[in-house]
Structure 1
Amino acid sequence: MSIKDEKRSLVADNEPVVPLEIKQGPVRPFVVSEPSKQLYFARSFHSTKERLLVAGLAIFTCVVRLYNLSQPNEVIFDEVHFGGFASKYIKREFFFDVHPPLAKMLFAWIASFAGFDGSFEFKEIGDVYPATVPYVLMRSLAAVAGSLTVLLLYFTLRASGVRIWVALASAVCFAVENSFVTISRYILLDAPLMLFIAASVYCFKKYELLPTNSLQSFKYLVLTGIALGLSASAKWVGFFTIGWVGILCLWRLWFFLGDLSKPVSSTIKIAAVKGTVLLGIPMIIYVFFFYVHFQTLTNDADGAGFFSSEFRTTLEGNKIPGNVLAEVGIGSIVTIRHVGTMGGYLHSHDHQYPAGSQQQQITLYPHLDGNNEWIISLYNETEPVTSFQNLTDGTKVRLQHSITKRRLHSHDHKPPVSENSDWQKEVSCYGFDGFEGDANDDWIIEVDENLSAPGPAREHVRALETKFRLKHAMSGCYLFSHEVKLPKWGYEQQEVTCAHSGRPDLLVWYVEGNTNDFLPKEAERISYKPSSFFQKLMESHEKMWKINKNLVESHVYESLPSSWPFLLRGIGYWSSKHRHVYLLGNAILWWSVSSFIGIFAMIIMFELGSWQVGKPILQDADVVNFHIQVIQYLLGFIIHIAPSFLMKRQMFLHHYLPAYYFGILAFGHALDIFVNYIFRNKKAIGYALIFGFTASTVYFFNYYSPLAYGSLWTKDLCQKSQWLSGWDYTCDTYLDSYDEYDKIDFSASMAAPAVTSYADINALIEDESYEEVESFEAIMNKPGDKKFLDQNGNPLEPEEVERILKEQGGKIQKVEEN
């Protein structure tokens, strides 16, 4: 029999579920761990009919995902960040982000391919895209990724035993899942991430269908490793997918150990190969893309301020001091850097605290600046310094700010932000012309020998090499800083205090910049040793972890993980010109998935109880496969959502989508068992019910599509759509009927600048296109003389102006007369 004939015979019945093969061993029966040939061919598509169905699914998905990508023609939501990062890649300007680089680089590569020079910086939500920005092509990347994810879901369901029509229905439901449509239309990381996760799941499911030692199974194992590496390189969520694959490998390894036909040595070899491929390949890919990231971003920029000076010296155009005088002494003009945080340099400026002592502010500032410079003198200096004198452990000094001439000072006042901490005191700059200082200006140097470089740096203060603490002589507290920001009056720079019981690592400082006129020109000089690639890699991850963990500020659209399965609220992405983009899931599918998870948990508990009392369970091949696949996919669901409950950072609905994808895969098996077990003898009814369910998800998507596409809607339809109070998109901006939109010249309004704050209105007032206008406050105080108009030319009262300002991207035009 030829190979073709063998394949035809294996797939003749087109049955993708076969009973487990159980053999009798010398002592006990055992499950044969290797899949049969029949299983692989039955779960692959070979027929012309199925190919046509997949082609139809692809066309349908592309229509849904690629529709009208040019609108809105403004920057929305996190396009500010990820479009901006693409711009920086093209200009090779270093930036910092909490996510790995791959997905951002994909957008940069496609934009560069289209000729984008990076001049548009994606600064604000609502900025209109100029013709020079290939934003439609960049969005197309996300849309194509989203479309491929739909096809992969279909192939994955087929590979795990779902019948053709049920897999197709599940894929159609996924194709019109509003949340996935929304994330795959814009320059966001989620669509590429979901594509790589879906590819990882599919490749591993195909691997499970093949004989372990076959070349084809090794091919899919390698492809799984590549897909896992790509997913981890797009977002750290990909590491959860690696964990899921690892658990499934342990699951299968358990059956290998129980398979009496398979020697233990073979199982150990298989485990070693899997571990090498599924951990080694992703790690190589992950590191490789960081290497490309560092090789691309070679120019120093503001984003480098988060990193150490050793890191920054590897960037072109950096202003990190080099060839610095090694010896620090009395009369040195120095910059002092904090070791324990990313805050940067000890800094002061000619602005006062609004409370407390109301003396000059002391902060940490991450950028190089003249206000970082301090002059070192002895605490009791009465005569001018005439020669160089080292600073040793125990030296009592004063630090005078080189620009304002005030001295570093502490006293018994509460700190400006950490005012409830009894163990911290305010640090300020104090002094005036002719004032010689007082005892509260005195600080004692304590050299930390353990942290300082070996040799003379432990005996006296040397730039870069000596790590030291500054002890306040009067009170005994130590100069301290932590990751607490001052309010806007302190320019959101990092708070500096004097701490009696601060963490030891937050009390340590070192001198970076150093000049001293009493040292000869040939005096020893020192520079930072540039970081190696692996040092940069480790430092980047340390900063990514720390910043990610500290994203704790409240956000208007944040939500708790416990609310995600219930779709209690969405996320506002953009609002302008009577339109919204709002991330909202397809409630029909969303709530069905959540309900199924709860029902399945109850089924498992009931079955465990039945098994305990001796009743037979899992006798049918379809039921066995249903349990295996659903448990595996729900493990993926749990692995991808559980860490969210441990995170203290801001959380949003889109963080649920990777877990939700696994939930949809499990739900696909629920639909399959519904038809092929519950309605086994009346499949026509089962398929009719599934068709009705699919039609309802399509209807829901179509009704709510204006929120995904940012298209026109009516106020009445919008208000009827708000099933839950947490679906907090604004309906008031929509007009009462579609006919009213015909009266609006959208081409003119599209060119209007976005107004999102009072400062923006003031900027518009100063613009040449507005004639002889007064300040915003004056206009608003005289509404009878001058008014703002909406896009329809209708006057706006002050209250309406304020409301529009609160909506991102609201447009306001001003006219001279009523």
Structure 2
Amino acid sequence: MSVKDEKRTSGVENDPMQPLEVKQGPVRPFVVSEPPKTLAAARSTRSLKERLVVIGLAIFTVAIRLHDLSWPNQVIFDEVHFGGFASEYIKKDFFFDVHPPLAKMIFAWIASLAGFTGDFEFKNIGDIYPSTTPYVLMRSWAATCGCLTVILLYFTLRASGVRMWVALASAVCFAVENSFVTISRYILLDAPLMLFIAGAVYAFKKYEVFPTDTYQSLKYLVLTGVFLGFAASAKWVGFFTIAWVGLLCAFRLWFFIGDLTKPIRSTVKVAVIKGTVLLGVPLIIYTMIFYIHFQTLTHDTAGSGFYSSEFRSTLEGNHIPSDILAEVGVGSTVTLHHLNTRGGYLHSHLHEYPAGSKQQQITLYPHLDGNNEWLISLYNQTDAPLTSFENLPDGTKIRLLHKVTSRRLHSHDHKPPVSENSDWQKEVSGYGFEGFDGDANDDWIIEIDKDLSKPGPARDHVRALETKFRLKHAITGCYLFSHEVKLPKWGFDQQEVTCAHSGKPELLLWYIEGNTNDLLPEDAERISYKPSSFLKKFLETNERMWTINKNLVDTHVYESMPSSWPFLLRGIGYWTGEHRHVYLLGNAVLWWSVSSFIALFAMIIMFELGSWQVGKPILQDSDVVNFHIQVSEYLLGFAVHIAPSFLMKRQLFLHHYLPAYYFGILAFGQALEAFVSYIFRRAKTIGYAFILVFVASSIFFFKFYSPLTYGTAWTKDLCEKSQLLSGWDYTCDSYLNTYEDYKNLNSTSVVAETAETIVNEPAVTSYANIEEVKESEELVEVDDFESLMNEPGEKKFLDQNGNPLSPEEVQKLVEEQGGRIQKVQERSHD
């Protein structure tokens, strides 16, 4: 043991670095896997001095993150979605979203506490918030999450061996990280997600510093599971955090197995406890959140169209058919439901394809509609009226007539409208005209899937709900098919239907939902959907989330590739208005430093591995060992959170990088610690001075780019100077030339606002409180000009164009108007 380490063991309470305990076994040395009992005390934050430091950090963070949350007073970016979902929760209207419910539910709960009734729907970016919408309080929850995340980063670094002042410097840099400030100012899921991830990282780091069998160890292990459950329930990114914790547990288990002081039974016990807590607790929380979600959203709406009819039948006010005639036969009017894509019902309408045959469109439509109804007839049926009911056995050749447009379901040798490059698919259309009896391209053969149909008569002939079947085109041999491909705007974004010669078998399956037939007696057998259980609803929802999420492949003006994220090549425009922008951009000082350190650490590891291979000794200094362990663990978190993005084909944006970036910041904090405690161990003043300069640079960058973060006034010249990279694509032309122009603009805007309230004939207004002009639009009779001028208070007069008027001009206009003038109450205006 070195002199330095001996000194540490005697004064451990002042030094968070502890030496690894290595013992000699019968054959080889081994590392004792349990942390020293003194480690937790050494990495605690119990001193009055540090508590004051944390309070100061909290005050600083609150000043940054909660600054002027009421601006912009308009809906920005994805507040359209997540604010809207909060409104739906309050009204109990069912909706679908690709993200789990927790964060949205919290926003809704906070809004409901403030009396919000869901009357504002957050429909469009730029919509002005009415006074009835507590948007500032909702944003305050996101900002509070952002503040707590900063504090948790500080405590996490302390738990992983970083000294107080270095942890404070890292936390201050994180507090002014522009991108994290931006996401924590609005009604978005990112700030709650980051809080839960940060909570899980902190709890697991605290778990690591306590001996395994202690109460404190178990407490932080359970807390880790709780935060992991919250993170996964806010966004699926939380599952990456679960994977990171799982990998660390597996790594630590390897050392447990090699620790000869621990019996095998103890190692198995620890593994079982970890697996149960770190997988079981998140799963329970995740499931419970969905249970609350389903219990809250009870009203059937258009948003439930993504779900199966069994699911929708559990919602209040649903129009899913019930008491359906069980037997389907010739002359039945039916709706055909596609089984596996949840795209909905076979549908047609009076619109043609713009290319191909240019015949009537056939689509899948997710909502109940008269255009979903089809009349079944035999392929060779005559016009003679039917006298008796006839079932549809397996192999029956039929035709389907669209009830509303009188076109028959048809296929031929034309390429489909969207999947035109697929040789195995053909167009399906609606074809026919008055007096036309149809042709052979209208003929379809029923093929019952006996494995998926309900046992019994549903496997012999078609029955509503119970029989699953394919429709084979009699001439070409292709099958009626649909898949997760949407038609363009000319097809109203409905799902494409084609005739496929191959393709996934499950996408060829259909069943009858609606069914009417006058040939059946009144007491004929009827059936209904069996309402979905909670488990089925839970599984179906998550399957739909997965399917829709991976199909979000449309291009977006602000999307970016994961390979560009570490370089901060571009940001995201959140809002533009009133010559200002809100633009998501990282703090380049910290951002690029983290990216550079990751590359540097990779080179250090390769160099050290090379040195070890040629026989050079490995550094065993406690600072160096802890640096390698902690940085490796954090960068594993970085990799786990960014790597899946390279496999995704969906839209991706810069904010998807932030969870990985958080782990990178933690690793960089460890680097700053090594910088002070090892590189400048004999001249720590220099090391701290360097850190101070770095912190000041981060604060300067934040301050300079704060107009983009807060959406405040900026000048065109400063904006143009700020665009260090071409991808930083916020528009500078919309900014004014000077700050004085903004003051003049505000005055002009107020004048214009005042003029807008004058109703046609009034050309004069008296005002002192221009903020309340819109609230006071009363037209009053003025006896004479003198009485108007003698009223108390300062007066200003404008014409309809906002130009100032002299008292003489006012008198003339008053006389011309017959004494009618708009009067606005006079109060002081700042």
What TM-score does the superposition give when structure 1 sets the normalisation length? 0.90
Distance 1:658 1:750 in 2: 46
The match for 2:602 is 601
Cα separation, partners in 2 of 1:498 and 1:548, compared to 1, 3 Å = same
- Structure 1, residues 409-436: CA drift from partner, whole Å, max 9, x if none? 1122222112222222221111222222
Q: Within 5 A, what are the aligned runs for 1:736-755? A: 736-745=737-746
Query: Which region of structure 1 is more displaced relative to structure 2, 19-28 or 158-167?
Result: 19-28
Deviation at 1:437, TM superposition (A): 1.5
The match for 1:18 is 18
C-alpha contact 2:50 2:164 (8 A) present in aligned 1: yes
- Structure 1, residues 416-463: CA drift from partner, whole Å, max 9, x if none? 112222222221111222222122211111111111111000000000
Distance 1:443 1:751 in 2: 67
The match for 2:171 is 171
1:303 aligns with 2:303: yes
Distance 1:91 1:769 in 2: 38
Deviation at 1:714, TM superposition (A): 0.5
Query: Which region of structure 1 is more displaced relative to structure 2, 430-439 or 566-575?
Result: 430-439
The match for 1:514 is 515
C-alpha contact 2:360 2:429 (8 A) present in aligned 1: yes
Q: Within 5 A, what are the aligned runs for 1:315-464? A: 315-382=315-382, 383-464=384-465
SS at match of 1:182: helix
Deviation at 1:308, TM superposition (A): 0.4
Distance 2:556 2:116 in 1: 33
Distance 1:266 1:187 in 2: 47
- Structure 1, residues 372-404: CA drift from partner, whole Å, max 9, x if none? 001111111112111110011111111111111
The match for 2:62 is 62
Distance 2:475 2:101 in 1: 50
The match for 2:195 is 195
Deviation at 1:608, TM superposition (A): 0.7
- Structure 1, residues 473-512: CA drift from partner, whole Å, max 9, x if none? 2222211111111111111111111122232111111100
Larger radius of gyration, structure 1 or 2?
A: 2
Query: Which region of structure 1 is more displaced relative to structure 2, 465-474 or 172-181?
Result: 465-474
The match for 2:786 is none
Cα separation, partners in 2 of 1:688 and 1:462, compared to 1, 3 Å = same
Distance 2:32 2:752 in 1: 68
Deviation at 1:252, TM superposition (A): 1.4
SS at match of 2:597: helix
One-letter code of the match for 2:91?
K
Distance 2:759 2:742 in 1: 26
SS at match of 1:37: coil
C-alpha contact 2:72 2:711 (8 A) present in aligned 1: yes
The match for 2:626 is 625
The match for 2:269 is 269
Choose between structure 1 and 2 for higher RCO, CA contacts under 8 A separated by at least 6 residues: 1
One-letter code of the match for 2:411?
S
Q: Within 5 A, what are the aligned runs for 1:163-242? A: 163-242=163-242
SS at match of 2:417: coil
Distance 1:10 1:62 in 2: 39
Deviation at 1:656, TM superposition (A): 0.4
The match for 1:670 is 671
Runs in 1 of length 4+ with deviation above 3 angstroms? Answer: 8-13, 745-752, 767-771
C-alpha contact 1:225 1:281 (8 A) present in aligned 2: yes
Distance 2:489 2:759 in 1: 32
Deviation at 1:10, TM superposition (A): 8.0
Q: Within 5 A, what are the aligned runs for 1:628-667? A: 628-667=629-668
C-alpha contact 1:229 1:282 (8 A) present in aligned 2: yes
C-alpha contact 2:375 2:400 (8 A) present in aligned 1: yes
Q: Within 5 A, what are the aligned runs for 1:66-215? A: 66-215=66-215
One-letter code of the match for 1:318?
N
Cα separation, partners in 2 of 1:504 and 1:162, compared to 1, 3 Å = same
Query: Which sections of structure 1, spanning at least 5 residues, go unmatched?
Result: 1-7, 753-766, 772-791, 795-818
C-alpha contact 1:138 1:187 (8 A) present in aligned 2: yes
Cα root mean square deviation, aligned: 2.0
SS at match of 1:179: helix
Distance 1:511 1:544 in 2: 26
C-alpha contact 2:752 2:802 (8 A) present in aligned 1: no
Q: % of aligned pairs identical?
A: 75
One-letter code of the match for 2:720?
Q
C-alpha contact 1:11 1:41 (8 A) present in aligned 2: no
Distance 2:653 2:667 in 1: 23
C-alpha contact 1:343 1:494 (8 A) present in aligned 2: yes
Q: Within 5 A, what are the aligned runs for 1:652-731? A: 652-731=653-732
One-letter code of the match for 1:621?
S
The match for 1:496 is 497
C-alpha contact 1:76 1:125 (8 A) present in aligned 2: yes
One-letter code of the match for 1:586?
N
Cα separation, partners in 2 of 1:749 and 1:606, compared to 1, 3 Å = farther
Distance 2:93 2:333 in 1: 31
Distance 1:285 1:312 in 2: 24
Distance 1:239 1:730 in 2: 37
Deviation at 1:9, TM superposition (A): 11
Q: Within 5 A, what are the aligned runs for 1:549-560? A: 549-560=550-561
One-letter code of the match for 1:310?
E
SS at match of 1:743: helix
SS at match of 1:742: helix
Query: Which sections of structure 2, spanning at least 5 residues, go unmatched?
Result: 1-7, 762-800, 804-830
SS at match of 1:470: strand
C-alpha contact 1:577 1:749 (8 A) present in aligned 2: no
- Structure 1, residues 51-88: CA drift from partner, whole Å, max 9, x if none? 11100000000000000000000000000010010000
1:467 aligns with 2:468: yes
Distance 1:68 1:10 in 2: 50
Distance 1:217 1:356 in 2: 68
Distance 1:486 1:380 in 2: 33
One-letter code of the match for 1:711?
T
Distance 2:645 2:440 in 1: 51
Cα separation, partners in 2 of 1:768 and 1:339, compared to 1, 3 Å = farther
Cα separation, partners in 2 of 1:519 and 1:10, compared to 1, 3 Å = farther
C-alpha contact 2:374 2:402 (8 A) present in aligned 1: yes
SS at match of 1:745: helix
C-alpha contact 1:571 1:584 (8 A) present in aligned 2: yes
C-alpha contact 1:371 1:403 (8 A) present in aligned 2: yes
- Structure 1, residues 758-799: CA drift from partner, whole Å, max 9, x if none? xxxxxxxxx99999xxxxxxxxxxxxxxxxxxxx999xxxxx
C-alpha contact 2:93 2:298 (8 A) present in aligned 1: yes
C-alpha contact 1:16 1:39 (8 A) present in aligned 2: yes
SS at match of 2:704: helix
One-letter code of the match for 2:552?
L
Deviation at 1:340, TM superposition (A): 2.4
SS at match of 2:14: coil
Cα separation, partners in 2 of 1:610 and 1:502, compared to 1, 3 Å = closer
What TM-score does the superposition give when structure 2 sets the normalisation length? 0.89
Deviation at 1:18, TM superposition (A): 1.4
Distance 1:550 1:793 in 2: 52
C-alpha contact 1:10 1:38 (8 A) present in aligned 2: no
Deviation at 1:749, TM superposition (A): 8.1
One-letter code of the match for 1:224?
T
One-letter code of the match for 1:546?
T
- Structure 1, residues 289-315: CA drift from partner, whole Å, max 9, x if none? 000000001110111100100010011
Distance 1:316 1:614 in 2: 73
Query: Which region of structure 1 is more displaced relative to structure 2, 517-526 or 481-490?
Result: 481-490
SS at match of 2:635: helix
Distance 1:375 1:11 in 2: 88
SS at match of 1:582: strand
The match for 1:535 is 536
Cα separation, partners in 2 of 1:405 and 1:114, compared to 1, 3 Å = same
